[in-house]
Amino acid sequence: MTLKLDARSPSGPIEQQWSSARFDLKLVNPANKRKYKVIVVGSGLAGGAAAATLAELGYDVACFCFQDSPRRAHSIAAQGGINAAKNYQNDGDSVHRLFYDTVKGGDFRARESNVHRLAEVSVDIIDQCAAMGVPFAREYGGTLANRSFGGAQVSRTFYARGQTGQQLLLGVYSALSRQIGVGKVKMFPRTEMLDVVVDPATGRAIGVVIRDLVTGTITSYAAHAVILATGGYGNAFYLSTNAKGCNVTATYRAFKRGAGFANPCFTQIHPTCIPVSGDYQSKLTLMSESLRNDGRVWVPKSTGDIAKHPDQIPDSARDYYLERKYPSYGNLSPRDIASRAAKEQCDEGRGVGPGGRGVYLDFRDAIRRDGEDKVRDKYGNLFDMYERITGENPYKVPMRIYPAVHYTMGGLWVDYHLQTTVPGLFCLGEANFSDHGANRLGASALMQGLADGYFIISYTLGHYLAGVAAKDLADPAGPLFKRAEVDVSAKLDKLTSVRGKRSVDSFHKELGQLMWENCGMARSKQSLTEALAKIPALRDEFWRDVTVLGSRDSFNQSLEKAGRVADFLEFAELMCKDALVREESCGGHFRVEHQVEGEAKRDDDKFCHAAVWEYTGEGGEPIRNIEPLVFDNVKLATRSYK
């Protein structure tokens, strides 16, 4: 059996597809909307916005999140900004240019129709957020301010100091709270989705199984449609810029219930993170890419200088390698390119800091040019954060940065309606695969999350529900749900009953190290084959020797982690398989066998498609399906930032 991958992209000129789709999509009678139950898993920009918007429209919404409040979803940590094709700066931006930049930046591995729609609704997002009280940065005249951001040559990024994600999420949270207050959304914080229930008779998603993280109670919830907005899987690498709780469990378990998983090997490594300082390290902290507007990246030219204080290295002995290699983009080169360039310098022995895994991000020239006050005005909170973490003052000593896992472009395959291969199961935000191709541009994640949640699902979900009778709500006490509850409980019991010798974290760290070495910034047939041999062995050891203390019917953080790590131990294999088959380099996926003078070499003849993996049962080989990608509007070309 293979998956049916109908993208349902509208026909006609790309500029008119979304408006014609909006007319063609069926509507649900306003009086009937309240009869439809919709489950939203995740309360970040995508999930929170979807839950609030659908409730405003009249649907009966239940929203689940694992944090203690929807206000804490990981969207909150985004620093730099949100893109929109407003062209307020009169610098040549347009919907078409944002569309073009996103397709090209994604290295031609995204679906054109979805990306164009994203660029179109970007302008509405800014209006909506401003109306909801997001305190965007302003010019003296009171209009909105913009800045340019990694990989873009126009100023289209809107921001709220270095806390844009926080402010956008608080906007979403306020809209969601309003609906909670009037009883239109039932919110379930401190809960985790452990299974999606699919009716084998119709193939449709009919509900979810949830664990209450405080009491440990397992409960089923039925709905007419289920929306997953559960974020990315960067924590497969253990160390990443993701929050500690971020996980693949919801999307991976949906995969096991029939949802195709697209391009799992597409992971983004962010170039500007604070380097690892020791083996106790629990997460990596991002330093906003906006710093690259004024900071200059360099390493000593000579390996003999790496231990010297940077002040003692004159300009003539410094290699500003991004400016040298990519003169037109320089320090603003896209993330994948800047990350690989840093790795290359460190691999050649010119890295600085512990283990030689760091490059300098230096503000000396910006401070000389604009003064320390101006620099503090722009980046003060980031400089403070850096100093708190490293104990070093970046006004005096250049920052040290190194790439770290940051975002995952892969995710559940969705069509133009954001529906997965399981009817009635939708996927939004980072959790889906659709818009960023093989590499995401800076300030585009917030845009996509809000586009999906505020402006897209509200139309496409109605189209689906118009074809479902309101009376056809599954019975959460029925046998399908009971069976899923039994499966979920059995897995939890298995985790608590191993009582081995190793902690969950020790397995997670080992997996992360293995993935970083073998399926990280550079991948090869050899490294991936090695990982594919080691992961199953590590997984076996996990199930033999993990220890999870405490019971499953209580608040048990070790058990939460254990379930997530168990899923990462399976999912990591899918990532490596996908990376192994994709015999090309594109965007964040760099296969060392496929390069020209150190730059990624795509193979459009063989790989101009999304790879969509299909689960075939415990121990079965997953099947790789293909959605061919057609580029009618942006000509396939080699990305060049030189």
User: Which residues belong to the active site?
Assistant: 335
Binding mask 518-557 for other proteins (x = CB under 8 A): -----------------------------x-xx---xx-x
Which residues, numbered 88-107, are part of the site for other proteins (CB under 8 A)?
88
Stretch that binds other proteins, among 74-82, 112-120, 315-323, 515-523 (CB under 8 A): 74-82
Query: At 630, is the secondary structure helix, strand, or coil?
Result: coil
SS3 sequence of 31-83: CCHHHCEEEEECCCHHHHHHHHHHHHHCCEEEEECCCCCHHHCHHHHCCCCEE
Token pair belonging to 255: 């995969």
Whole-angstrom Cα distance, residue 158 to residue 135? Answer: 10
Least distance (Å) between residue 468 CB and other proteins: 23
Residue in this structure with the two tokens 């809960």, named with its chain if needed: 191
Q: Which of 1, 31, 201, 307 binds other proteins (CB under 8 A)?
A: 307
Within 10 Å of residue 12's Cβ, how many Cβ atoms? 11
Whole-angstrom Cα distance, residue 525 to residue 536? Answer: 18
Q: Which of 6, 91, 139, 472 binds other proteins (CB under 8 A)?
A: 139
Phi/psi at 622 (5° precision): -65, 150
261-262 and 609-614 strand pairing? antiparallel
| Of 302 and 458, CB closest to other proteins | 458
Close Cβ partners of 181 (under 8 Å, ≥ 6 residues apart): none
Q: Is 397 in the site for other proteins (CB under 8 A)?
A: yes
Stretch that binds other proteins, among 1-9, 110-118, 156-164, 483-491 (CB under 8 A): 156-164
| Of 49 and 579, CB closest to other proteins | 49
Least distance (Å) between residue 499 CB and other proteins: 9
Whole-angstrom Cα distance, residue 475 to residue 453? Answer: 27
Stretch that binds other proteins, among 302-310, 368-376, 439-447, 583-591 (CB under 8 A): 302-310
Which residues, numbered 116-135, are part of the site for other proteins (CB under 8 A)?
124, 126-133, 135
Question: What's the burial of 84, exposed, middle or buried (CB within 10 Å: 0-12/13-18/19+)?
Answer: buried
Which residues, numbered 425-484, are part of the site for other proteins (CB under 8 A)?
454-455, 458
| Of 89 and 489, CB closest to other proteins | 89
Is there a contact between 428 and 452 (Cβ–Cβ < 8 Å)?
yes
Stretch that binds other proteins, among 319-327, 346-354, 513-521, 614-622 (CB under 8 A): 346-354
Which residues, numbered 52-71, are part of the site for other proteins (CB under 8 A)?
52-53, 56, 67-71
- Within 13 Å and on the Cβ side, how many CA atoms surround 328? 6
Token pair belonging to 258: 């029939």
Least distance (Å) between residue 547 CB and other proteins: 6
Q: Is 174 in the site for other proteins (CB under 8 A)?
A: yes
DSSP codes, 205-236 = EEEEEEEETTT--EEEEE-SEEEE-----GGG
| Of 397 and 473, CB closest to other proteins | 397
Phi/psi at 371 (5° precision): 90, 150
Is there a contact between 395 and 363 (Cβ–Cβ < 8 Å)?
yes
Token pair belonging to 237: 């690498």
Close Cβ partners of 380 (under 8 Å, ≥ 6 residues apart): none
| Of 300 and 520, CB closest to other proteins | 300
Which residues, numbered 186-205, are part of the site for other proteins (CB under 8 A)?
187, 189
Q: Which of 25, 137, 317, 626 binds other proteins (CB under 8 A)?
A: 137
| Of 391 and 479, CB closest to other proteins | 391
Least distance (Å) between residue 140 CB and other proteins: 5
Stretch that binds other proteins, among 99-107, 203-211, 276-284, 608-616 (CB under 8 A): 276-284
Would you give the distance in Å from CA 430 to the centre of its chain?
A: 4
Close Cβ partners of 11 (under 8 Å, ≥ 6 residues apart): 17
Least distance (Å) between residue 283 CB and other proteins: 5
| Of 280 and 618, CB closest to other proteins | 280
Stretch that binds other proteins, among 161-169, 422-430, 606-614, 624-632 (CB under 8 A): 161-169
Query: At 591, is the secondary structure helix, strand, or coil?
Result: strand
| Of 358 and 588, CB closest to other proteins | 358
Which residues, numbered 568-627, are part of the site for other proteins (CB under 8 A)?
none
Least distance (Å) between residue 261 CB and other proteins: 25
Whole-angstrom Cα distance, residue 639 to residue 642? Answer: 9
